[in-house]
């Protein structure tokens, strides 16, 4: 009797995709990545800033989850990586996350990348990592580029203690309220800002922390990288001439160790002395530096003091 033919396994005949990557014209083989979620840091600008381990992992995983497939494809094409890409961003996370978790549950290997830098740092991914960990999946971090650490490195400001804020609120009232809270933190501050709001943010920061040293880091690791270092007050004065195209990281030094905030009565006394020798503008500048109080507050108080004598004129 003739044996029954076994069903054809079309999956076994499918040509496996290449797991190679290319560096400096040399084609290197990558082994299949271990099952689990791999958090891969990618360049923040210069595509040469990627580790060999990151390339091997991106070539070896079954799937790369990325914010924008067009941006990640530029990286994979640069290094000859034939990978399956799937979008994962704040707008589709609710529907994309269960599919990725299912892939992980079946023993798959998935890399999570952001458009630039280290995943989860002001980028989506927290819920995916949390749920993957809760489900018992292995989560591995591959360290690499970070705009936070890059800016801290070049700002020439203290790095022993720092606070990463991310993006400030877009609306003026909320932004100023948040800056007032940040001003009380005894650490170097790292803030992300967009080009269309960086000038307003600098002015609000200077009003609250004008005497502090700061740095504006623009387009880090890219062709038009710039780092400007000065006091916040000086940077705010130059804000109108600032090139606003590109991405910005603002680094603000901590308050001086001996900084003291004068009481309201002491501020009035200081202003009276300064107003007796200087214009309102110069008197306010000196008082801000000596009092530790926000410029906006000092200026408002100065106007109150000069109104009886000068009829309420502004900064003459």
Residue-wise pLDDT for 124-138, tens only, equals 899 999 999 999 999
159-to-41, 202, 226, 257, 282 alpha-carbon distances in Å:
22, 21, 20, 15, 32
Residue 295 pLDDT level (bands cut at 50, 70, 90): confident
Please enumerate in sequence order all residues whose Cβ is within 8 A of that of 173, keeping only pairs 6 or more positions apart, or say none. Answer: none
Inform me whether the pLDDT recorded for 91 exceeds 70: yes
pLDDT at 222: 94
Average pLDDT over residues 205-228: 92
Bridge partners, 63 (sequence order): 110
Quick: pLDDT tens for 163-190.
999 999 999 988 988 888 888 899 999 9
Torsion, Cα of 245, 49, 151, 242 (10° steps): -20
Phi and psi at residue 54, to the nearest 5°: -65, -45
Average pLDDT over residues 34-48: 97
Instruction: Identify the residue with better confidence: 288 or 30.
Output: 30
For residues 151-179, b (16+ Cβ closer than 10 Å) or e, as one string? bbeebebeeeebebbeebeeeeeebbebb
On whether the CB atoms of residues 291 and 268 are closer than 8 A, the answer is: no
Instruction: Identify the residue with better confidence: 265 or 21.
Output: 21
Average pLDDT over residues 107-116: 97
Instruction: Please choose, from the candidates 81, 145, 79, 77, the residue with its C-alpha nearest in 3D space to the C-alpha of residue 114.
Output: 145
pLDDT at 313: 45
Residue 259 pLDDT level (bands cut at 50, 70, 90): low
Inform me whether the pLDDT recorded for 28 exceeds 70: yes
139-to-16, 37, 55, 124, 224 alpha-carbon distances in Å:
25, 5, 17, 16, 36
On whether the CB atoms of residues 167 and 248 are closer than 8 A, the answer is: no
pLDDT at 9: 39
Inform me whether the pLDDT recorded for 68 exceeds 80: yes
Inform me whether the pLDDT recorded for 306 exceeds 50: yes
Inform me whether the pLDDT recorded for 315 exceeds 60: no
On whether the CB atoms of residues 232 and 252 are closer than 8 A, the answer is: yes
**Helical pair 280-291 and 264-275, crossing angle rounded to 10 deg:** 140
* pTM for this entry: 0.77
pLDDT at 10: 33
On whether the CB atoms of residues 272 and 305 are closer than 8 A, the answer is: yes
Residue 8 pLDDT level (bands cut at 50, 70, 90): very low
pLDDT at 12: 38
Highest mean pLDDT among 208-222, 265-279, 286-300: 208-222
Instruction: Identify the residue with better confidence: 89 or 208.
Output: 89
Sheet with 63-66, edge to edge strand ranges: 85-87, 63-66, 109-113, 36-40, 139-142
pLDDT at 16: 64
> CA Rg, the chain, in Å?
27
Bridge partners, 217 (sequence order): 227, 249
Residue 276 pLDDT level (bands cut at 50, 70, 90): confident
Share of the chain above pLDDT 90, in %: 70
């Amino acid at each position: 009797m003739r044996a029954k033919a076994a069903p054809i396994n079309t999956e076994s005949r499918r040509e496996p995709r290449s797991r190679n990557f290319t560096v400096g014209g040399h084609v290197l083989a990558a082994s299949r990545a271990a099952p689990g979620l791999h958090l891969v840091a990618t360049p923040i600008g210069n595509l040469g800033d990627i580790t060999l381990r990151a390339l091997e992992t991106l070539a070896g995983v079954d799937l790369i989850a990325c914010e924008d497939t067009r941006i990640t494809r530029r990286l994979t094409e640069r290094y000859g990586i034939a990978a399956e890409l799937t979008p994962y961003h704040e707008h589709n996370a609710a529907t994309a996350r269960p599919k990725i978790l299912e892939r992980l549950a079946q023993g798959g290997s998935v890399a999570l990348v952001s458009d630039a830098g280290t995943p989860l740092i002001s980028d989506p991914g927290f819920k995916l990592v949390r749920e993957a960990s809760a489900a018992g999946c292995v989560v591995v971090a591959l360290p690499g580029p970070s705009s936070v650490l890059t800016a801290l490195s070049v700002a020439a400001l203290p790095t022993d203690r720092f606070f990463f804020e991310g993006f400030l609120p877009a609306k003026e009232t909320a932004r100023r309220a948040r800056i007032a809270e940040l001003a009380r933190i005894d650490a170097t501050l790292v803030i992300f800002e967009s080009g269309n709001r960086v000038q307003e943010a600098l002015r609000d920061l200077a009003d609250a922390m004008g005497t502090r040293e700061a740095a504006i880091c623009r387009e880090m690791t890219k062709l038009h990288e710039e780092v400007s270092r000065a006091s916040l007050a000086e940077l705010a004065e130059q804000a109108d001439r600032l090139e606003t195209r590109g991405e910005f990281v603002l680094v603000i030094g901590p308050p001086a160790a001996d900084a003291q905030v004068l009481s309201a009565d002491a501020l009035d006394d200081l202003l009276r002395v300064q107003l007796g020798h200087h214009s309102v503008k110069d008197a306010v500048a000196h008082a801000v530096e000596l009092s530790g109080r926000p410029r906006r507050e000092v200026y408002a108080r100065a106007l109150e003091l000069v109104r009886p004598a000068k009829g309420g004129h502004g900064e003459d």
